[in-house]
Structure 1
């Protein structure tokens, strides 16, 4: 595959719209399809705004209008898939929805089109077992928004052809994403399994009264997150002990084992603790400010992306 291909984006919410930006800015022709009337048109409007914001931060090489010109709204699913080398499914994170969508894709797909799913944690084997094109299907899970956070988790089902993984990985690299490849399926994949451990402990610290949600956030924002913006956990600890990662593991392994032993029980987040965190968050950010704050987040991600781009030049 090359970047100059047609890509179908199926499901045009926040994730699907972000994917459309990724592919269009790399030179692909993008066909948007959504089963909800008017959703694809609204998705294209979101794409237009994202492109204007990216241009303001110097993150696209062309004029926003030129990139948007490669994004069209398909008449139906068959129109979106017609001639597409790749399709990115980004519908609701529900097994019944995904099974139905993949049945519809299978009925309309061409003989060579590959399909990636934006599933956050449901493995592809759960919703592609019944389709004839299953060897050409896999999970291609992004971070939201994919246009600003480039990692993509590639997770094959047991029947995904090796060539499918190789081709999708090559495409992702060509359009500027950062693919990571799992050898086999596991619930939650890499990103949400890592995030889940951090979230479980964050909720526990608040529930048991050790800290507020704001101070837990500050610990990550002004501590862990600063390093994690440009290095992962293994490189972090490799640099945090004089003798590297083995030295770190021997020095602090007993501490982490003790912490793990003290937190063996993983509770369901009940209404009481959810209410506590909700109240603390709404004291900091009223509900009517969420959309504005999301836009602020995206602008900060754009500034960070621009900084990292300059630093790597």
Structure 2
């Protein structure tokens, strides 16, 4: 199968790594020729980092599977699946999808990387809306494998199944979001935590640093290999119902205490930003990004080792 990628930005480059690493031929399109040149250099650097972490073997071989093209028609020639990585803008996506329909085969699947826009908002007036859906990754997808597959009411079951199978073949971990909902699943969960984190910070209960410690040294350790339902199922002697009987009233009471006002107010964010910059100066952000990715690589290597031990 040949994969087309629309957009040579951060997410488009990451998807190119995902698919080429798995053995697929990849054609990356961007209207900006300079972006394509930069994309090639950035992809090779990321692959070199993965090779150093022993997560890929042959960088040159992977790079031979990726081509770059500033012409949409030639870039999409022969592709069976397109991963669109354009801006988070409904009107812009409508334009991109109309252009794609004009150059790809009728059976080509058109998937969007959008973080929260339902695909029906930009696909319902296409000639073939049944082949459109969302395949939302977590950044960077070559390190964090979850992909949310979100069909529209018009998406065919075959397209959904094909996309789920493709993601598994690409060594990703797809989940099916059964109905369209703004923000999908991951960002709604992340948003709930962020909203509460901002309220706790804003109302003076905890510093930004200690809030982060709570997650990375507490919840995050369990959540790196268990989900919230499995976590509470294992946190009471008789399982999830036992946990609910013990702690459900507390969680319900806390939920009722939460205000409905928007916690993303400018004054709160300004103070959070000041605390973060005191901990991490702006000039050190890029180096910290690299640190994050190295830590993720180490975690993935450890998880693979544990999976091999569990299966032996």
Distance, in Å, in 2 between the alignment partners of 1:160 and 1:41 is 35
Are 1:216 and 2:220 an aligned pair? no
Question: Alpha carbons of 1:309 and 1:182: their partners in 2 closer, same or farther (altered >3 Å)?
Answer: same
CA-to-aligned-CA distance 1:64-88 (integer Å, 9 cap, x gap)? 1111111110241111211011110
Given the alignment, which residue of 187, 199, 202 partners 1:207?
202
What are the residue-to-residue correspondences of 1:51-200 with 2, within 5 Å?
51-60=47-56, 62-200=57-195
Cα root mean square deviation, aligned = 1.0
Distance, in Å, in 2 between the alignment partners of 1:41 and 1:247 is 57
Match in the other structure for 2:19: 23
Given the alignment, which residue of 266, 287, 300 partners 1:292?
287
* SS of the residue 1:12 aligns to: coil
* SS of the residue 2:106 aligns to: coil
Distance, in Å, in 2 between the alignment partners of 1:106 and 1:268 is 41
Are 1:312 and 2:272 an aligned pair? no
Does the 8 Å CA contact 2:149/2:160 hold for their aligned counterparts? Answer: yes
Given the alignment, which residue of 24, 33, 37 partners 1:37?
33
Given the alignment, which residue of 269, 277, 295 partners 1:274?
269
Match in the other structure for 2:296: 301
Distance, in Å, in 2 between the alignment partners of 1:278 and 1:44 is 33
Distance, in Å, in 2 between the alignment partners of 1:22 and 1:149 is 10
Distance, in Å, in 1 between the alignment partners of 2:279 and 2:70 is 44
Deviates more, 1:136-145 or 1:259-268: 259-268
Distance, in Å, in 2 between the alignment partners of 1:311 and 1:143 is 23
Does the 8 Å CA contact 2:97/2:123 hold for their aligned counterparts? Answer: yes
Q: How many residues align?
A: 308
* SS of the residue 1:149 aligns to: coil
Unaligned runs of 5+ in 2: none
CA-to-aligned-CA distance 1:253-273 (integer Å, 9 cap, x gap)? 000001100004141411100
Are 1:239 and 2:258 an aligned pair? no
TM-score scaled by structure 1? 0.96
**Stretches of 4+ aligned residues off by more than 3 angstroms:** none
Does the 8 Å CA contact 1:115/1:137 hold for their aligned counterparts? Answer: yes
Distance, in Å, in 2 between the alignment partners of 1:90 and 1:212 is 36
* SS of the residue 2:33 aligns to: coil
TM-score scaled by structure 2? 0.97
TM-aligned CA deviation for residue 133 of structure 1? 2.6
TM-aligned CA deviation for residue 9 of structure 1? 0.9
Unaligned runs of 5+ in 1: none
Deviates more, 1:247-256 or 1:261-270: 261-270
